[in-house]
Amino acid sequence: MQYNNSASYGHFDDETREYVITRPDTPYPWINYLGCEDFYGLFSNTSGGYCFYRDARMLRLTRYRYNNVPADAGGRYFYLRDHAEDEISGYARQDVWSPSWMPIKSKLDRYECRHGLGYSCISSARNGLAFSQLSFVPLKDNCEIHKITLTNETKVEKNIDIFSFVEFCLWNANDDMTNFQRNYSIGEVEVEGSAIYHKTEYRERRNHYAVWSVNVPISGFDTDRETFLGLYNGFDHPQTVFAGAANNFIASGWAPIGSHHIEVPLKPGESKTFVFVLGYCENSEDQKWESLHVINKAPAKALLEKYNSAEAVDTALAELKEYWDKLLSRFSMQTDDKTLVRMVNVWNQYQCMVTFNMSRSASYFESGIGRGMGFRDSNQDLLGFVHLVPERARMRILDIAATQMSDGSAYHQYQPLTKRGNNDIGSGFNDDPLWLICGVAAYIKETGDYSILDEQVPFDNDQALSDSLFVHLKRSFDYTLNNLGPHGLPLIGRADWNDCLNLNCFSKTPGESFQTTANYESGIAESVLIAGIFAFTGPDYAEICRRTSRKEEAERAEKAIAAMIETINTHGWDGNWFLRAYDAMGKKIGSHECEDGQIFIESNGFAVMADIGINDGRAIRALDSVKEKLETAYGIVLQQPAYKEYHLELGEISSYPPGYKENAGIFCHNNPWITIAETRVGRGERAFETYKRICPAYREDDSKLRRVEPYAYAQMVAGKDAPRFGEAKNSWLTGTAAWAFVSITQYILGIRPVFDGLLIDPCIPPGIKSFSITRYFRGAVYKITVDNTAGVEKGIASISMDGKVLDNKILPPMEEGSIHEVMVVMGSSKN
């Protein structure tokens, strides 16, 4: 390895809001997401990855091989070839390399990858030839743009060849990697000028194709992988590039690719720029063909015409930057702690957008094939996103609600393209319905838009079963109440938030899915976590009822919540912490009586978030137990002691080796629940401490150990029982992004949307003496300064807005477009 000597892998550039990677051999591919709404690309620091239109399973444009050797093989590659005659001997000599390092991995004299908001830029140099690649998806078009610039930094003329390379996926990513007896015979392309068209299956049932083009005339092209690479070569030795000439071969079956050959003579000091576009185009049924078997290229031509110059590309990039400037201006903070500021202002919000867009579908750990959108996941992702684009959150809520069944239960996952529930996973995850209340409440608190409750939404996507969104919430609420177990706690069903606590599964067959198998429908396994979620989110339902003149329903709900809290107190308390569940035999899980799995993080987080045990000291006791038994240097593990053996009655949780995933890994998603809980008991120092432990930017120096991106949350960090304690996995697509953002902004910094306005309720370490926040809220802008000269953790001495003292802690909604100065002085509470 050539880059081993450098101590760090990069740094944040706060000015440009980029993460700058300074060596290509990061401990794992460090990726970025291109695209905002329909067209997306995953883009690694060595130009690896792939792109898709809307659905990573159904409409994938380029092929990617997960779990490949070497890692991260496949992407949008640009091979460079520098060739000349040796001045003394007269022999031809050539140098072929990858300016993004992968796949050839020749030494680069310079290398840098800047991942910005929706774009990435790789720049490098070798032997006096500088290269830069700007890659992004423009706001309104379905394509990836790659702007390539070559500069001759030497004093002699250079003759460079560029060979571009993408490998097409035959659209359905699952079929593409399994059904070779068919797929090797169906690949079709067309080439016209510099544009390579991938049109597999267009002649039959598809109305879309891909185009890969460049804005200059080309010297040749390739469209067949074998011809281009050589059958026994990898991406790192394309025979065509080494030969220096394209084959102009039209693929027929096998593996269609797109490669352009461009010859680039460069005088000393000269630069040349090329715009490559990889686009997705659709035609209506009657417009599919230009002539017999010749596709209608009109939409592609319009797209290519639009981005045919570097200037057009720069304008599109400027628009993208403006879009992000605007989004991020809706919530921004200032304080002395730079790491905090960069996470809150940029990277955490950025990741919230990504998780909103992707749910758990496509990352370097999620293949884009299996998961689609999660019901509980998407509802939680909303929590960190709703302030950015409330209109999109609204649409998402309606999509999710349409996958709910009429008894209130829900499809656990749905496909983004069809918006239909996935039958292979089905329903029965008994926490799912409650997250809909949580998501809708967050939307209403942010926007004040109660009209969403009147939207007619189908059940199970069946229009005949439509009812108002409010009725969906009611069914959600009642689903819990209709499914109580012997202790009066909610039945767990297949599993609650912890997908791996499969208490009715009893699986002995290898390969059987823990998520869908129910060999032992006990009808009695209960979840204290669901009870806690009910107690936390139920009051929002009651409040929504009250505010929409449904007084009786509000009272009914409040009674049910009070009863649930009573049940938690009676049957969900273990003496020093909250229990986790009762299994199919009625035995306790998460109790000091257990051998392993004595204490779990989730139920303790949610019970205290719901303010249970605050008045009688049990909340503090539970949180102290969590600290004592579960906390590590890298975050709080999910439970302890880790399960050492497989337990038939517990399911997947005990299938993981100790310290990984749900078996006592640091499952970051629920760490913020403890953070929030700590603010409920007023411990700002502790809250901030738990926040920082899992926050990637604070862990940047551990990158070698941690391995994944220092600018994105990971789902899991190996726990203390694991040999690789501290190593993170599953970066990007995790509910941690939303919950961490909620925990820091709403509970630690304490600027929290509530039904009546913006509640100010900070709970911070006494050492933070001041901070300020600019918050866009329901059309107005609040410039909030918090003074903590008093050095308290919680409590407000006074709040004034525009010079007037407020008599409560809620900033009321103000006129559209107005700007308000808010001064908050922390100290001993006056109310």
Find, among 40, 71, 76, the residue nearest to 56 by Cα. 40
Give the helix/strand (H/E) hosting 744: none
Q: How far is the CB of 581 from ligand NOJ (least distance, A)?
A: 14
Q: In terms of CB distance, is 126 or 661 closer to ligand BGC?
A: 661
Give the helix/strand (H/E) hosting 476: helix 469-482
Calculate helix-pair angle for 551-571, 528-547, nearest 10 degrees. Answer: 160
- Beta-carbon contacts of 85 under 8 Å, excluding residues fewer than 6 positions away, are 91, 92, 93
- In the bound state, the residue with its beta carbon closest to ligand NOJ is 499
Position 602 contacts ligand BGC (CB under 6 A): no
| x-or-dash string of contact with ligand BGC, 651-690, rule CB under 6 A | -x--------xx----------------------------
Q: Sort 523 into a burial class: Cβ within 10 Å, 0-12 / 13-18 / 19+.
A: exposed
Position 497 contacts ligand NOJ (CB under 6 A): yes
The size of the interface with ligand BGC (CB under 6 A), counted in residues, is 6
Is 637 in a helix, a strand, or coil? coil
Spatial contact of 390 and 447, defined as CB atoms under 8 Å apart: yes
Position 500 contacts ligand BGC (CB under 6 A): yes
- In the bound state, the residue with its beta carbon closest to ligand BGC is 499
The size of the interface with ligand NOJ (CB under 6 A), counted in residues, is 9
Calculate helix-pair angle for 671-680, 618-630, nearest 10 degrees. Answer: 140
Q: In terms of CB distance, is 383 or 801 closer to ligand NOJ?
A: 383
Spatial contact of 224 and 288, defined as CB atoms under 8 Å apart: no
Q: How far is the CB of 670 from ligand BGC (least distance, A)?
A: 12
Position 662 contacts ligand NOJ (CB under 6 A): yes
Determine the residue type at 770.
Answer: S
Spatial separation of the C-alpha atoms in residues 329 and 783, rounded to whole Å: 11
Position 522 contacts ligand NOJ (CB under 6 A): no
Q: In terms of CB distance, is 729 or 794 closer to ligand BGC?
A: 729
Instruction: Enter the tokens of residue 412.
Output: 């656990």
Q: How far is the CB of 181 from ligand NOJ (least distance, A)?
A: 34
Position 376 contacts ligand NOJ (CB under 6 A): yes
Interface with ligand NOJ (CB under 6 A), residue from 57, 360, 692, 794: 360
Interface with ligand BGC (CB under 6 A), residue from 98, 430, 515, 527: 515
Spatial separation of the C-alpha atoms in residues 614 and 341, rounded to whole Å: 31
Q: In terms of CB distance, is 115 or 371 closer to ligand BGC?
A: 371
The item of ligand NOJ, ligand BGC, none sharing an interface with residue 431, based on CB under 5 to 8 Å by kind, is: none
Position 602 contacts ligand NOJ (CB under 6 A): no
The item of ligand NOJ, ligand BGC, none sharing an interface with residue 497, based on CB under 5 to 8 Å by kind, is: ligand NOJ
Position 356 contacts ligand NOJ (CB under 6 A): no
Alpha-carbon distances, residue 78 vs 28, 130, 152, 228 (angstroms): 21, 13, 17, 13
Is 770 in a helix, a strand, or coil? strand
Instruction: Enter the tokens of residue 468.
Output: 């108002």
Q: In terms of CB distance, is 613 or 659 closer to ligand BGC?
A: 659
Q: In terms of CB distance, is 262 or 500 closer to ligand NOJ?
A: 500
CA-CA-CA-CA torsion sign (623, 624, 626, 627): positive
Q: In terms of CB distance, is 167 or 662 closer to ligand NOJ?
A: 662
Position 18 contacts ligand NOJ (CB under 6 A): no
Q: To which residue do tokens 């002995």 refer? A: 508
Q: To which residue do tokens 């990061």 refer? A: 26
How many residues are recorded in the chain? 831
The item of ligand BGC, ligand NOJ, none sharing an interface with residue 377, based on CB under 5 to 8 Å by kind, is: ligand NOJ
Q: In terms of CB distance, is 229 or 503 closer to ligand NOJ?
A: 503
Q: How far is the CB of 726 from ligand NOJ (least distance, A)?
A: 20
Q: To which residue do tokens 């838009």 refer? A: 449
Q: How far is the CB of 590 from ligand NOJ (least distance, A)?
A: 15
Position 381 contacts ligand NOJ (CB under 6 A): no
Interface with ligand BGC (CB under 6 A), residue from 55, 499, 540, 649: 499
Provide the terminal-to-terminal Cα distance of the chain, rounded to the nearest Å: 63
Given 176, 381, 499, 761, the catalytic residue: 499
Find, among 281, 282, 278, the residue nearest to 76 by Cα. 278
Interface with ligand NOJ (CB under 6 A), residue from 102, 373, 491, 500: 500
Alpha-carbon distances, residue 128 vs 23, 40, 193, 254, 268 (angstroms): 19, 34, 31, 38, 10
Q: How far is the CB of 727 from ligand NOJ (least distance, A)?
A: 18
Q: Give me Rg for the CA atoms of the chain.
A: 28
Position 374 contacts ligand NOJ (CB under 6 A): yes
Position 498 contacts ligand NOJ (CB under 6 A): yes
Spatial contact of 615 and 540, defined as CB atoms under 8 Å apart: no
Interstrand relation of 819-826 and 780-787 (parallel, antiparallel or unpaired): parallel
Which positions from 397 through 426 interact with ligand NOJ, judged by CB under 6 A? none
Spatial contact of 161 and 177, defined as CB atoms under 8 Å apart: no
Query: Does 499 participate in catalysis according to the annotation?
Result: yes
Spatial separation of the C-alpha atoms in residues 439 and 456, rounded to whole Å: 17
Spatial separation of the C-alpha atoms in residues 550 and 443, rounded to whole Å: 19
Q: In terms of CB distance, is 669 or 752 closer to ligand BGC?
A: 669
The item of ligand NOJ, ligand BGC, none sharing an interface with residue 515, based on CB under 5 to 8 Å by kind, is: ligand BGC
Q: In terms of CB distance, is 573 or 660 closer to ligand BGC?
A: 660
Active site residues: 499
The binding site for ligand NOJ (CB under 6 A) comprises 360, 374, 376-377, 497-500, 662
Residues forming the site for ligand BGC (CB under 6 A):
499-500, 515, 652, 661-662
